[in-house]
Structure 1
Amino acid sequence: MTDMLSDNVTETHADLFSKFDPLIQMRENLLASGVTDPFGLVMERVLSPTVAMCNGRETILLGTYNYMGMTFDPDVIEAGKQALDDFGSGTTGSRVLNGTYAGHKAVEEALCEFYGMDHAMVFSTGYQANLGIISTIAGKGDYIVLDIDSHASIWDGCKMGDAEVVPFKHNDIEAMEKRLRRIPEGAGKLVILEGVYSMLGDIAPLKEMIAVAKKYGAMVLVDEAHSMGFIGPNGRGVAEDQDCLEDVDFVIGTFSKSVGTVGGFCVSNHPKFEIMRLVCRPYVFTASLPPSVVATACTSIRKLMNAGDKRAHLWENSRTLHKGLREAGFELGTNEPQSAIISVIMPDLERGAAMWEALLHEGLYVNLARPPATPANMTLLRCSLCAEHSAEQVEQIIGMFTRAGKTVGII
């Protein structure tokens, strides 16, 4: 009898992995064509913010989000080493229990100073910052109006929070207003936007969008992950650059881009914001960042306050690369350089992967971005410039793209 029951269970048991079969097949087809796995690259040694050893050869890094090149800053590294000596390797606890050290308070104070805001809350990752803040402030009965191209962490925060989610066409102010107009009177409303959208590197018309949001009584959250440190007179992001930062209720950011380490944060001027430390589950139920990480982040943020020359050089790199790739015949994600991200549009995944590999053979690493992460099912080679890329390196990169593009038949 027992054996019969076991057989029946075996026959009806569903393979929980079957839902991934199309993706498994796509990956197998890609690897069968002889292409190196573009999602399995190992960096054997990192030599600087712009160069690493990959597959035994020196490779220029153009896909790391290390926008301000802070990962090898001597002061940042020294702060991390000192914190390791003084506080050990980790906190082994949540921020609301034993996981708040002097460094956690110091980095939150640095963020408040950087943004000129009253409150800052640091999470263990940028993903958790979006997950935690969005799911906590917008719940059942509330409405979230967001750009269709929003980051996965934003969508996951919406899903976890159980609010009614209303997406609108990318960067379309009129479509956003149409959605807001339909929301019932008196309902809680949160509009979520990004300063820089990470796939194409385009910026949002935040000033106009925020004005519309406020017209309908909505609170506004702006994710400045890809603009902090670089865009705006003081590096506070697109909202600062468009002179509307004071109208933003919540700014979300990350330490894993311009700051050069790992972690996430939210800054706000809302008078009740501190209650979030007790009600935000991804904050309460996660171990806090190691002391060495918050020490490096704090030092980096304070240095970014006075990084005007670095910002100017990064803009110069962005303009040069955009112009060079366009003149070489590549199709780019934006007509003009709008950020440190320049996306090169590929005809399809197969040729995109071949181009990625050809660039790697040239000694250049870029990101291969594919559906469903990309808008409109595009395959992209995503270039992330760094303030530490020299003018000579940028010219080298243009030459590498040109040679690889001709080899693969893209241009």
Structure 2
Amino acid sequence: MTIFDKFRPFLDRYTLAEQMETNPFGMPFSAFTSPTRAAGNGRSLVLAGTNNYLGLTFDPRVKRAAKDAIDAYGTGTTGSRMANGSYRDHVSLEEGLADWLGMPSVVVTTTGYQANLAAIATLAGPKDLLVIDRDSHASIYDACTMSRAKMVRFAHNDPKSLDEKLAKYKGSVTGSTIVVIEGLYSMFGDVAPVADFVEVCKKHGVYILIDEAHSIGVFGEEGRGVADQAGVLDEIDFFTGTFSKSFGSVGGFCASKHEDFGRLQPLMRSYTFTAAPSPADAAAAKAALPIVRDGDDLRDRLWKSAHRVHQGLKQLGFEPCSPPSPIVAVEIGSDIEGIMSWTQLIESGLYVNLALPPTTPQNACLLRLSLSAAHTEEDIETILFAFGKLAATRESMGQSHAAE
């Protein structure tokens, strides 16, 4: 027996992937020519799995800000803000986000993952209760573990289930209760009924935290997210987001309508005990913020592509996992079928995400697309053409099995 035996199911799956011409787990790219085009394994590929929702990674204003920051401040911060101090763009980025969201307390972190650790693991302790959506992101689960608070899960996107859980545990909590949801769920692409969740939280007098990592920049007025689109942003207690998607940078933030939240920075382990965001990352996110705020044209293009791809996949015989959103996922069957299907899409010039258990809800095997405002008409045609070839192959294989 070895320490690796407990990983055998995963290692068997990974070994299968390694035997393919292109490994879907961490595929190497040799060049990027635009937000939606890259070269990999000797092929020119359309990118439909990058979460680059507004296409800002190649925006000249964002690139220039990052380059200027390197010239002014160097390549790295070499330590945390608690130890090494804050750079100009760290502070001005927090101020800009606070103004945009209408929340007085904003803390910028090095990644979006660390934003959830900073907020949840700091706010909750052994006497508190965390009630989270069953399909929450790994960073939320990890933050709950770090907090040492009791964690309870409710059925995905189900306000009635949340109501029942809060009623059940109400008398046993000596501290505070925080409900944790997401705006747009990253695997299936489904949107939370945020207004309903807020009503349940108000009924029970508990706090609510929303992770808008995939929805910020995409939903709501000025791209402020699902809570804003639902008209309840001012009733959200805590808000987390990331710069690695719509903002075209790297980093994250946590925000709150409670002023004391910002004073907890020294207690946030993922803020205090890790290096601060690089000058280039902070400057890029700062430069992206006004583009996101004023990006109605970008959002219009993104949603147009999302609806077109969603409808096109349905016409090809695929059944998307949720109504139209910038994330379009289709369930594909077994692990082997998923790997083979992903490989065929690569051969057709299309890169999407292959998502397999245990990283997916309900142990689903998914081909996951994320659309971008930068996708051209030709890009969308390539996406649907590649899935059309995949549909024909799947139909042919089904007929072959039926004949046997």
TM bin (shorter chain): over 0.9
Task: Give SS of 1:47's match.
Answer: strand
Once the two structures are TM-superposed, the CA of residue 311 in structure 1 deviates from its matched residue by 0.4
1:188 matched to 2:176? The reply is yes
TM-score by length of 1: 0.93
The question of 1:81 aligning with 2:67 is answered: yes
What TM-score do you get using the length of structure 2 for normalisation?
Answer: 0.95
1:238 aligns with 2:226: yes
Gapped regions of structure 2 (runs ≥ 5): 399-404
Determine if contact 1:35/1:353 at 8 Å carries over to the other structure: no
Q: State the Cα distance separating 1:30 from its structure 2 match.
A: 4.3
1:393 to 359, 362, 379: 379
Distance 1:322 1:289 in 2: 36
Deviation at 1:27, TM superposition (A): 2.0
What's 2:268 paired with? 280
Q: CA deviation at 1:408?
A: 4.1
- Which residue is 1:122 aligned to? 108
Identity of aligned residues (%): 43
Whether 1:68 and 2:54 are equivalent positions in the alignment is yes
Within the alignment, does 1:370 sit opposite 2:352 as a pair?
no
Equivalences for 1:43-54 in 2 at 5 Å? 43-54=29-40
1:351 equivalent to 2:337? Answer yes
Q: By how many angstroms is 1:184 displaced?
A: 3.5
CA–CA separation in structure 1 for the residues paired with 2:223 and 2:378 = 25
- 1:317-336 alignment to 2 at 5 Å? 317-334=305-322, 336=323
The ranges of structure 1 where at least 4 consecutive aligned residues each deviate by more than 6 angstroms after the TM superposition are: none
Alpha-carbon separation, structure 2, partners of 1:361 and 1:325: 18
Query: Aligned-pair distance for 1:214?
Result: 1.7
Amino acid at match of 1:403: K
Corresponding residue number in structure 1 for 2:235: 247
Amino acid at match of 1:47: T
For residues 310-348 of structure 1, what are the alpha-carbon distances to aligned partners after superposition, in whole Å with 9 as ceiling and x for unaligned?
1011110010000000011012101x20x2000011011
Letter in 2 for 1:306: D
- Tell me how large the CA RMSD over aligned residues is: 1.4
Question: 1:390 Cα shift?
Answer: 1.4
Give the letter aligned to residue 279 of structure 1: L
Cα distance in 2, alignment partners of residues 54 and 36 from structure 1: 9
Please give the secondary structure, in 1, of the residue aligned with 2:248.
coil
Q: Does 1:271 align with 2:255?
A: no
After TM superposition, list the pairs within 5 Å mapping 1:200-239 onto structure 2.
200-239=188-227
Q: How far 1:141 moved relative to its partner?
A: 1.2
**Aligned 8 A contact 1:99 1:287 in 2:** no
Question: 3-state SS of the aligned residue for 1:96?
Answer: helix
Deviations along 1:37-67, one digit per CA (max 9) or x if unpaired, are 2103101001100000111221000000000
The one-letter amino acid paired with 2:326 is A
The one-letter code matched in structure 2 to 1:326 is K
Question: 1:187 Cα deviation (Å)?
Answer: 3.4
- How far residue 31 of structure 1 moved from its aligned partner, in angstroms, is 4.0
Please say which of residues 90-99 and 180-189 is displaced more in the overlay: 180-189
Conserved? CA contact 1:114–1:302, under 8 Å: no
State whether residues 35 and 354 of structure 1, in contact with CA within 8 Å, keep that contact through their aligned partners in structure 2. Answer: no
For 1:300, give the aligned amino acid: A
Of stretches 149-158 and 99-108 in structure 1, the one that deviates more from structure 2 is 99-108
CA distance in 1, matches of 2:308, 2:86: 44
The AA in structure 1 aligned to 2:147 is: G
Q: Is the 8 A contact 1:358 1:408 kept in 2?
A: no
Q: CA deviation at 1:395?
A: 2.3
**What is the total number of aligned residue pairs between the two structures?**
395
Instruction: Please say if residues 121 and 267 of structure 1, whose CA atoms lie closer than 8 Å, have aligned partners that are also in contact.
Output: yes
2:290 is equivalent to residue 294 of structure 1 = no
- The answer (yes or no) to whether the contact 1:343–1:382 under 8 Å persists in 2 is yes
Name the residue aligned to 2:244: 256
Secondary structure class of the residue paired with 1:91 = coil
- Identify the residue that residue 36 of structure 1 maps to in structure 2: 22
The one-letter amino acid paired with 1:268 is S
SS of the residue 1:121 aligns to: strand
Q: Which runs of 5+ in 1 are unaligned?
A: 1-13
Are 1:173 and 2:159 an aligned pair? yes
Q: Distance in 2 between matches of 1:391 and 1:245?
A: 34
Is contact 2:207–2:237 with CA below 8 Å preserved after alignment? yes
Deviation at 1:35, TM superposition (A): 5.6
